[in-house]
Amino acid sequence: MAQNSPEKLRVVIISKEKFLDRKHSYAGKVLAIPLISGKNATVITEEKTTNNNTTYSSKNKKYTVVIDAGHGGRDGGASCCGNKKEKKVVLSVAKKLEKKLQDKGYKVYMTRSSDSFVKLPKRTEFANKKKADIFVSIHANAAPKKSLRNAFKGIEIYYLSPAKTQRAKEAAAKENSVMFEDKDYYTKNAYLSLISREKIVESHKLGIDVSNQMLSNVRKHFGSVEDGGVKTANFWVLVGAQMPAILVETGYITHPKEGRNLMNNYYRSLLAQGIADGIGRYLKNK
């Protein structure tokens, strides 16, 4: 592919197939060149959205995404400074993500759309029933104690696998607490030993795409934002998911700067756009 002149884009297609006798067609600004490979081959057209982001709407209709806004109801999640509550922040991001994915042509479901409590196993069970292609659980993190609030920061993505770092173990313990509040150490380990490893690789790829897009999006408008990385952890909410599944920690609600950003409506929109773009990139390259 090369730009021959300001008004011409040259695309060279090399194929063993003899397709020159097949007629190409135009649909608006889309040029469709039939390259047949197998009985089920179809031509996917590319469309442009008004904000110049590429959306593959004809293909997106095939995909179902389940968005899980973490916590809710009696489970408030992390909190800080009186008005900063995780369950409210992540529901806002989840609703924005729902709209952005729908605009791109995906079928989207929410595990909760209001301040309601949903048991952790029910969340992935819901995704499995909907035959989702992607499961995304959205959360906000918190420093383990007030004296460390400046040290703990960053957007982090987790996928299901035994936690390898202390920080990942602590994050998982925080999110799993409501599930295990009445269970002892041995019961916890017995539950988490049931982890399915089938989708680990795909979840890792999804996590990388989402992380890259989120960071790129927010850094353009809010400057430096810490990259917490893509990590493994034993999050109960991901156990049992029969599709690529990730848990997104949108930032530390206890950090002075990140906590302030998470209360900003535009910042939450950028986070949602980044997640949506990451999902799109993953599915495009799947």
Q: What is the pLDDT of residue 262?
A: 97
For 232-275, the pLDDT digits (tens) are 887 878 877 889 999 999 999 999 999 999 999 999 999 999 99
Strand residues in the chain grouped as ranges (E): 2-5, 8-10, 25-27, 30-32, 47-48, 54-55, 64-69, 79-80, 84-85, 107-110, 134-141, 155-160, 227-233, 245-252
**What pLDDT is stored for residue 19 in this prediction?**
55
Among 224, 164, 199, CA closest to 282: 199
User: pLDDT tens-digit profile of 200-237?
Assistant: 889 999 999 999 999 999 999 999 999 999 998 878 78
Q: Check: pTM over 0.85? Answer yes or no.
A: no
- Identify the weakest region by mean pLDDT among 50-54, 121-125, 180-184: 50-54
**Hunting for tokens 């922040």 — which residue is that?**
89
CATH for 54-284?
3.40.630.40
Determine the Cα–Cα distance for residues 213 and 27; give it in Å rounded to an integer: 30
What is the residue extent of each domain of the chain? 54-284
